[in-house]
Amino acid sequence: DKTGAAGDQHSQGFSLLTFVVDAPVSVQPVTSTSNGIRRLYPKPSATMRRMRILLVKTSSLGDVVHNLPVASDLRARFPDARIDWAVEEAFAEIPRLHPAIGEVIAVALRRWRAELLRRRTWHTITALRAHLRSNRYDYVIDNQGLLKSALVARLAGGTRIGLDWVSSREPL
């Protein structure tokens, strides 16, 4: 049974937002209210920090453009969330145009692959990891399904949502 496969998720009527909503959170969900409506998350209080979500869709141009509605859907479902996007530096201007995106984190995966043995490359990757971890993302949504996007998602920490290794589009 491959419960993480994209086909299984879709055929069972699940969506990406279903996984975000149903993922465990640090606060206890409210099960009912005075009017009987069930809420999954409590109302924000002054002491709660906003939910932080990182979208990882690094390339290509068409894939980045087709991922823009995900940001819109997340904003509609979680209006107070901070939504950031990790994208290949060549395509960084596209997510910057979206009003739901807070920070665009440009990564240089293509350049790093060509210069993998250089010390400067490893310093840059270490700095990226520190920056991503400092944001303390609650959810990291990897919509790419490739090893390079999985690397960025892993560097970010947080609860990762996306395809599992069985569903990867690349051979291991």
* pTM (global) more than 0.75: no
Alpha-carbon distance of 126 to 136, in angstroms, equals 16
Alpha-carbon distance of 148 to 118, in angstroms, equals 18
- Categorize the per-residue pLDDT at 166 as very low, low, confident or very high, splitting at 50, 70 and 90: low
Count of alpha carbons within 13 angstroms of residue 98, beta-carbon side: 25
- Categorize the per-residue pLDDT at 147 as very low, low, confident or very high, splitting at 50, 70 and 90: confident
Give the pLDDT confidence of 98-117 residue by residue, as tens digits: 999 999 999 988 888 888 88
Give the pLDDT confidence of 26-85 residue by residue, as tens digits: 443 444 445 555 544 555 555 556 899 999 988 889 899 999 999 999 999 999 999 999
142 has a pLDDT exceeding 60: yes
Alpha-carbon distance of 35 to 82, in angstroms, equals 29
Residue 169 is predicted with a pLDDT of 65
